[in-house]
Amino acid sequence: MLLAKAIQTMESVMQPLVKAGTASKYDPEFYGVKALTPKERDLFSDGSLCAPEGSILIVHPSVAGEDILVCSSADPTATGEALAKDVLASLKVTIANKELANLDTVAIPGNATSPLAAAALGRTVANSLNSPVAAIVTGMGAADTVWETLCGGMLMAPAASALYTWDAVLQEMMKHNPIGNALIAKDVQDLTASISEAATLFEILKDQMLEQTSHGLSLRPAADRKLKMVVSHSKGNWGVLCALLNFELNVVEHVAAPAAARCDPKVHIVTFGNWVNLPNLKPIMADLFHYHQFMGTHDHIGGMGSSYGYARLALAGKVVASDTAVDHQANPDEALYVKCSHNVDPDKTDHMPIEKILPRIK
């Protein structure tokens, strides 16, 4: 797939040129960097904390006073599925050693961000839920800005727009054309492997949603799944879309689904900023996942990245004030928040009310 190959090639070329720990000048613009301690911020700014793309940072709430932990691959050349499997293995060891049984939420930041932004978003989510969060690193900061922006604005956004436009046609083709179904499924698989955060999330989904039984691979009963929520922002929403599409097209139809798989609790998928057309081709996706998508009326970046989603919410009248206590039971649960912009920093007056929304959902 041309898109996947382009992303993978450019990421491979850029990464060796990026100094580990390089902070992005855009991180404080959109994320609550000040919620991190000076010691934590220094870990990223001086390069002493190395967290390549696809790595996971375990971030605790501010009141816990716990250090940020890094789960990464020991192989600096690892990419795609191999990288993701290494990161997941490191995460499992860390959870066992640190007794993090209550780690059940993943956070994914957006465009042109560094590990500092992943830590900041992780801290915001952790403070909102009063529990630790696994934040996936999506970029390497300022040196990565140009490619990350081009990747999102010129590759992923048009691809997403095409999916919106042809959604009904594609769904019908995939229902009745097994060859077309197989081709699209393979392209989604390649695309997921080429986006590090999507690859890592996909491995987490497989690990948390599947189990090996005497009858073969099966979906876990809902009560046995530790993953409760995935929170993403901006370009990170496209990584979530890729991972979920891959799960829908390449996993769901090949595993047994016990009756218990269709029971609550579902995994809450919460996106802020760019609206994405989350997978709903197979009915079981609505049984496994609860979709929540939020944009702001003053979110110009999100509007440019997802004009379809912005117009969809506005024309449907799904507009609410940022201080309104919304019932989030609907699936999908969508809203356009008045006077909110693209940032998710609780200290900013125009931020998306992430600290109010997440506790109501979970």
> Tell me: the pLDDT tens digits for 314-342?
999 999 998 888 899 999 999 999 999 99
Distance CA 301, CA 288 (A): 30
SS3 158: helix
Instruction: Note whether 40 and 57 are within 8 A (CB).
Output: no
Q: What is the pLDDT of residues 111-123, one digit of tens each?
A: 767 889 999 999 9
Q: Which residue type, as a one-letter code, is found at position 336?
A: L
| Band of pLDDT at residue 37, cut at 50, 70 and 90 | very high
- Closest Cα to residue 299, out of 324, 354, 347, 336? 336
Q: Which residue type, as a one-letter code, is found at position 62?
A: S
Instruction: Note whether 233 and 273 are within 8 A (CB).
Output: yes
Q: Residue 164: what pLDDT?
A: 45
Q: Which range has the worst mean pLDDT, 25-29, 85-89, 144-148, 261-265?
A: 144-148
| Band of pLDDT at residue 152, cut at 50, 70 and 90 | very low
For range 3-18, the mean pLDDT:
56
- Closest Cα to residue 100, out of 74, 54, 79, 69? 69
Q: Residue 344: what pLDDT?
A: 97
User: CA of 164: how far to CAs of 80, 169, 243, 297, 309, in Å?
Assistant: 26, 10, 17, 21, 9
| Band of pLDDT at residue 47, cut at 50, 70 and 90 | low
Q: Residue 21: what pLDDT?
A: 46
| Band of pLDDT at residue 175, cut at 50, 70 and 90 | low
- Closest Cα to residue 242, out of 277, 203, 192? 192
For the chain, give the mean pLDDT.
Answer: 84
Residue 163 has pLDDT above 60, yes or no: no
Distance CA 229, CA 133 (A): 10
Instruction: Note whether 191 and 228 are within 8 A (CB).
Output: no
Residue 31 has pLDDT above 90, yes or no: yes
Its pTM stands at: 0.88
**What's the maximum distance between 2 C-alpha atoms anywhere in the chain?**
57
Distance CA 306, CA 153 (A): 10
| Band of pLDDT at residue 141, cut at 50, 70 and 90 | low
Q: What is the pLDDT of residues 240-293, one digit of tens each?
A: 998 999 999 899 878 877 665 566 789 999 999 999 989 888 888 999 999 999
Distance CA 118, CA 56 (A): 9
Q: Residue 3: what pLDDT?
A: 52
How many other CB atoms are there within 10 angstroms of residue 362's CB atom? 17
Q: Residue 154: what pLDDT?
A: 43
| Band of pLDDT at residue 153, cut at 50, 70 and 90 | very low
SS3 69: strand
Q: Residue 340: what pLDDT?
A: 97
- Closest Cα to residue 322, out of 342, 305, 338? 338
Distance CA 254, CA 267 (A): 20
SS3 248: helix
Q: What is the pLDDT of residues 52-109, one digit of tens each?
A: 889 999 999 999 999 999 999 999 889 889 999 999 999 999 999 998 989 999 999 9
Distance CA 234, CA 299 (A): 10
Q: Residue 308: what pLDDT?
A: 84
Residue 6 has pLDDT above 90, yes or no: no
Percent of the chain at pLDDT exceeding 90: 51
Q: Which residue type, as a one-letter code, is found at position 213?
A: T
257, two tokens: 């689904």
Q: Which range has the worst mean pLDDT, 55-59, 181-185, 207-211, 267-271?
A: 181-185
| Band of pLDDT at residue 40, cut at 50, 70 and 90 | very high
Distance CA 117, CA 140 (A): 10
Q: Is the Cα dihedral 46, 49, 55, 56 positive or negative?
A: negative
Q: Residue 64: what pLDDT?
A: 93
